[in-house]
Amino acid sequence: MSIGIKELLEEARREVVSLSVHDADAKRQTSNTVFIDIRDVRELQRDGMVSGARHAPRGMLEFWIDPDSPYHKSYFAEDKTFVFYCASGWRSLLAAQVAQRMGLRCASMEGGFGAWREAGLPTEPRD
């Protein structure tokens, strides 16, 4: 293997802004930030999600971001900052790196949904 997950994560940490859950929550309460939950739908159904977040499964992310894709989601074309999160912060860090490379203003939430929930911040069930 020429590069492993440790190296990929370290590279992403150098390129992507990481926010604590409290800093992320402060951004969530502004109109120019969108939270993106990239976890699997089963995780959302089981655990819920950050209040007000949108779901964009990791496997479809690039297709949903690209306006030339037939799967494009219009909210990714908005002039906003996108805060990505997953269960513990690794998948979302890599997702934010890709989204940033595609031209979005991004951040990744440190500790993911687990840290968010542990901090007692607002969650809601999956619709």
Contact 119, 63 (CB under 8 A): no
Residue 111: φ, ψ to 5°:
80, -10
Cα gap 68→10, rounded to integer Å: 30
Domain boundaries, the chain: 31-122
Cα gap 119→36, rounded to integer Å: 19
Find out if CATH 3.40.250.10 is the number for domain 31-122. Answer: yes
Q: In sequence order, what are the residues at sequence separation of 6 or more whose Cβ sits closer than 8 angstroms to the Cβ of residue 30?
A: none
pLDDT tens digits, one per residue of 52-97: 999 999 999 999 999 999 999 999 999 999 999 999 999 999 999 9
- Reading the block at residue 45, the tokens are 């159904």
- The pLDDT value given to residue 126: 84
- The pLDDT value given to residue 29: 87
Q: Give the predicted TM-score (pTM) of the model.
A: 0.95
